[in-house]
């Protein structure tokens, strides 16, 4: 036995397993930054969600404590406490100390784990300074404590337990993680998504770190129908209720919900066993095939699409579409670069058949919305044809003109895109300072007239006829939308430089929206940045220091020896800085700080919702969004 003093080969294997996790944490959780830290919570919660999928758990509570530990409580069956003969340990200890043990026993049902993370709770244990587990099962409460992955004693049974369930509290190891402080909003987004995908499961997120504890409850009786409503929140929709189908067979279970809005962008999200399959896969292919065929068939039958007209393309049909496809299967195959592409071939036909049948029925039974949907698709086709023509014209124009670059662009002299950068600057006066301040060998400046067009509202055809937008596109050199080619980028850093005030923030949002909708790959490639001009300059004697936040200013002033006299300048805009100051604070690569703009990969829908709520038509949605995120700018993980 393991605890009679002799050390079995199996124990050594266990320690080596968890030691390997501590040595190379990134191999198991992706990173030791904030993203990896949050994965610890997802891992624990996913295990409880597996209990819910198996039909035994209805509520999960997540508490963020003041000491940065996290507790996850569920009302499932409880992790088995009996001895597992193969390991000669309790089930609890097996789950907590053996890599990938979670799914090994306890059998049937769909599981979240085994996908993207699915590394098992043992990884959380390995990366925690301390972990306390309590299992309520067989009428008793069983507890055990671990430190750095090792049990401090055996699993002890005590007291009576009326209900069943598991409580797990862990203290992330600050010797491994860059930070151990969880972000409420990041976890809330994930919990909301989990709640959408598991109808009726109740998730509570409780933050005890503030004086006033903050609680949010996520429970959606409509499941993915509510998810689609959420994606379309504040938008004008073409039909009042999302269309919904579900089917279950030997292949697994499929649910689809979809609803068109009057906007231009689509958000089609596909999940397999609750894992967001951002690389798509067979379920998404089946859905797209069915959608394109069924809508075209209907449009022809109704003679909205005339005999000599071409078929509507998939893209035309998906314009303004919000959809969620959620499949659950017993043995999911995850492929692709990030293991987020579903490979099971049986799913293509299964989803395709269900959507074809369900959608055809819906269209027949709801002639009014059906007509609105098909008209919208056919308008999209016409707009796309017009936009193509407009783009061809711009291209031809640029071939004819000797200089194809916009007149306002002060280009740099180096031609190697990997070495060069372009500043998008708010206003002509700041543009002028930036032109004087820059190092012209590698820094290009494009001044932009105040508020550029909001491409979220305008749509592609109008956007392409705006001078400012055209200037940005030609300066970048990449083209847009289907014609986008990252390899043609004329600069590998596109830096947004706006005033540090409300207007500046608005213009920054407009430029970010432009990149997100027209050149998303620029963001994905990590080519888009935000410049950070200082807010204050404190001068004392012959010296000066810049401060970029109010807090930093306090720190700068606090460091001054007592009685030192200083003067303070508050910069209201970039224009108030002279070129030298602009160079040393904001543009000099040796001294500046740039924020790289990234999309939160764990929450594909978050950026989508953020942009449409913030930049779209609906004023109410925008107000709500701003109120909700007033203290939190992490919707874009910049
Ligand atoms: C293995 C088997 C069974 C349940 C669990 C694991 C389980 C794990 C976790 C992790 C957090 N909460 C959990 N709840 C349950 C099935 C046990 C049985 O057959 O009764």
- Is 503 catalytic? The answer is yes
Give tens-digit pLDDT for 67-84.
999 999 999 999 999 999
Tell me which of 61, 499, 608, 637 is the catalytic residue: 499
Task: Say whether both 298 and 413 belong to one domain.
Answer: no
How far is it, in rounded angstroms, from Cα 506 to Cα 356? 43
Report the CATH number that the domain containing residue 479 is assigned in CATH: 3.40.50.670
Task: Say whether both 447 and 522 belong to one domain.
Answer: yes
Q: Per-residue pLDDT averaged across 367-394, rounded?
A: 85
Task: Say whether both 322 and 411 belong to one domain.
Answer: no
Which residue, 345, 369, 391, sits at the end of a domain?
391
Which residue's entry shows tokens 């590394």?
119
109: Cβ below 6 Å to ligand 1? Answer: no
Task: Specify if 8 maps to a domain.
Answer: no
189 contacts 155 by C-beta, under 8 angstroms: no
Task: Specify if 48 maps to a domain.
Answer: yes
Task: Say whether both 145 and 278 belong to one domain.
Answer: no
Which residue, 391, 416, 447, sits at the end of a domain?
391
Q: Per-residue pLDDT averaged across 46-63, rounded?
A: 94
Q: 79 C-alpha to center of ligand 1: Å?
A: 4
Task: Specify if 1 maps to a domain.
Answer: no
125: Cβ below 6 Å to ligand 1? Answer: no
Task: Say whether both 233 and 114 belong to one domain.
Answer: no
Q: Whose CA is nearest to atom 20 of ligand 1?
A: 77
Q: How far is CA 575 from CA 370, 427, 456, 538, in A?
A: 54, 9, 29, 18
74: Cβ below 6 Å to ligand 1? Answer: yes
Q: How far is CA 29 from CA 32, 42, 128, 179, 181, in A?
A: 8, 10, 13, 15, 16
Both tokens of 192, joined, read 């909301």
Task: Specify if 624 maps to a domain.
Answer: no
314: Cβ below 6 Å to ligand 1? Answer: no
Tell me which of 503, 576, 584, 601 is the catalytic residue: 503
Task: Specify if 548 maps to a domain.
Answer: no
How far is it, in rounded angstroms, from Cα 325 to Cα 340? 14
Task: Specify if 271 maps to a domain.
Answer: yes
Q: Per-residue pLDDT averaged across 407-423, rounded?
A: 93
Question: What is the dihedral sign for C-alpha 351, 382, 302, 262?
Answer: positive
Tell me which of 501, 524, 550, 580 is the catalytic residue: 501
Contact partners, residue 319, CB within 8 Å, separation at least 6: 264, 265, 266, 376, 377, 380
Question: What is the dihedral sign for C-alpha 292, 295, 301, 303?
Answer: negative
Task: Say whether both 191 and 234 belong to one domain.
Answer: no
Q: Whose CA is nearest to atom 7 of ligand 1?
A: 79
Q: How confident is the model at residue 393 (pLDDT cuts 50, 70, 90)?
A: low
Both tokens of 170, joined, read 């862990």
Task: Say whether both 102 and 205 belong to one domain.
Answer: yes
Task: Specify if 337 maps to a domain.
Answer: yes
Report the CATH number that the domain containing residue 155 is assigned in CATH: 3.30.565.10
The whole-chain average pLDDT of the chain stands at 88
Report the CATH number that the domain containing residue 352 is assigned in CATH: 3.30.230.10
Task: Say whether both 255 and 382 belong to one domain.
Answer: yes
335 contacts 341 by C-beta, under 8 angstroms: yes
Task: Specify if 506 maps to a domain.
Answer: yes
- Is 61 catalytic? The answer is no
- Is 208 catalytic? The answer is no
Task: Say whether both 379 and 423 belong to one domain.
Answer: no
Give tens-digit pLDDT for 194-219.
999 999 999 999 999 988 999 999 99
76: Cβ below 6 Å to ligand 1? Answer: yes
332: Cβ below 6 Å to ligand 1? Answer: no
Task: Say whether both 416 and 493 belong to one domain.
Answer: yes
Q: How far is CA 412 from CA 417, 440, 478, 511, 531, in A?
A: 10, 5, 17, 21, 18
Residue 498 belongs to domain spanning: 402-533+594-599
51: Cβ below 6 Å to ligand 1? Answer: yes
Tell me which of 207, 426, 468, 602 is the catalytic residue: 426
Q: Per-residue pLDDT averaged across 231-244, rounded?
A: 95
Task: Say whether both 451 and 501 belong to one domain.
Answer: yes
Q: 247 C-alpha to center of ligand 1: Å?
A: 27
Number of domains, the chain: 3
Task: Say whether both 29 and 52 belong to one domain.
Answer: yes
pLDDT at 6 over 70: no
- Is 11 catalytic? The answer is no
Give tens-digit pLDDT for 321-348.
999 999 999 889 999 988 899 999 999 9
Residue-level pLDDT at 191: 96
Q: Whose CA is nearest to atom 4 of ligand 1?
A: 79
């Amino acid at each position: 036995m393991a605890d009679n003093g002799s050390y079995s080969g199996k124990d050594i294997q266990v320690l080596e397993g968890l030691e390997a996790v501590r040595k190379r944490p990134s191999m198991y959780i992706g990173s030791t930054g904030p993203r990896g830290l949050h994965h610890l919570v997802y891992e624990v919660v996913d295990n409880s969600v597996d209990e819910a999928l198996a039909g035994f758990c209805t509520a999960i509570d997540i508490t963020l404590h003041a000491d940065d530990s996290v507790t996850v409580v569920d009302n499932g069956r409880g992790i088995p406490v009996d001895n597992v003969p193969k390991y000669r340990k309790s089930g609890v200890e097996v789950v907590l100390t053996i890599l990938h043990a979670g799914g090994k026993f306890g059998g049937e049902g769909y599981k979240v784990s085994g996908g993207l993370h699915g590394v098992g709770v043992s990884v959380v244990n390995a990366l925690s300074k301390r972990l306390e587990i309590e299992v309520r099962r067989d009428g008793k409460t069983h507890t055990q404590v671990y430190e750095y992955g090792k049990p401090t004693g055996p699993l002890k049974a005590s007291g009576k337990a009326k209900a069943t369930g598991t409580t797990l509290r862990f203290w992330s190891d600050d010797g491994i993680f860059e930070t151990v402080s969880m972000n409420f909003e990041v976890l809330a987004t994930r919990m909301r998504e989990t709640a959408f995908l598991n109808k009726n499961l109740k998730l509570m997120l409780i933050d005890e770190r503030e004086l006033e504890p903050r609680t949010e409850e996520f429970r959606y009786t409509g499941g993915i129908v509510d998810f689609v409503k959420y994606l379309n929140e504040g938008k004008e929709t073409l039909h009042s209720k999302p269309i919904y189908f579900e089917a279950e067979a030997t292949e697994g279970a499929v649910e689809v919900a979809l609803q068109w809005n009057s906007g231009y962008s689509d958000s089609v999200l596909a999940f397999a066993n609750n894992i967001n399959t951002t690389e798509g896969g067979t379920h998404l292919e089946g859905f797209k095939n069915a959608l394109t065929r069924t809508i075209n068939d209907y449009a022809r039958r109704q003679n909205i699409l005339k005999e000599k007209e071409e078929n509507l393309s998939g893209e035309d049909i998906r314009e303004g579409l919000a959809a969620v496809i959620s499949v659950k299967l017993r043995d999911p195959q995850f492929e692709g670069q990030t293991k987020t592409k579903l490979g099971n071939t049986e799913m293509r036909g299964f989803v395709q058949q269900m959507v074809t049948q369900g959608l055809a029925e819906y269209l027949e039974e709801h002639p009014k919305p059906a007509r609105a949907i098909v008209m919208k698709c056919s308008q999209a086709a016409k707009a796309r044809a017009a936009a193509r023509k407009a783009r061809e014209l711009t291209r031809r124009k640029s071939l004819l003109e000797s200089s194809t670059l916009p007149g306002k662009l002060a280009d740099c002299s180096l031609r190697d895109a990997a070495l060069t950068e372009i500043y998008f600057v708010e206003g002509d006066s700041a543009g002028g300072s930036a032109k004087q301040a820059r190092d012209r060998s590698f820094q290009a400046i494009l001044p932009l007239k105040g508020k550029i067009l909001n491409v979220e509202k305008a749509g592609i055809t109008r956007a392409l006829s705006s001078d400012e937008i055209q200037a940005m596109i030609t300066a970048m050199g990449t083209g847009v939308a289907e014609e986008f080619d990252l390899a043609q980028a004329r600069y590998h850093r596109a830096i947004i430089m706006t005033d540090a005030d409300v207007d500046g923030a608005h213009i920054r949002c407009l430029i970010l929206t432009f990149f997100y909708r027209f050149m998303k790959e620029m963001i994905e490639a990590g080519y888009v940045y935000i410049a950070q001009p200082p807010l204050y300059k404190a001068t004392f004697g012959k010296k000066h220091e810049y401060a970029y936040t109010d807090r930093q200013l306090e720190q700068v002033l606090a460091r001054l020896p007592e009685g030192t006299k200083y003067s303070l300048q508050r910069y209201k805009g970039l224009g108030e800085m002279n070129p030298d100051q602009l160079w040393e604070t904001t543009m000099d690569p040796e001294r500046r700080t740039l924020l790289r703009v990234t999309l939160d990969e764990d929450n594909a829908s978050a950026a989508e919702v953020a942009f449409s709520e913030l930049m779209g038509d609906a004023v109410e949605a925008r107000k709500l969004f701003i109120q909700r995120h007033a203290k939190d700018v992490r919707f874009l993980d910049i």
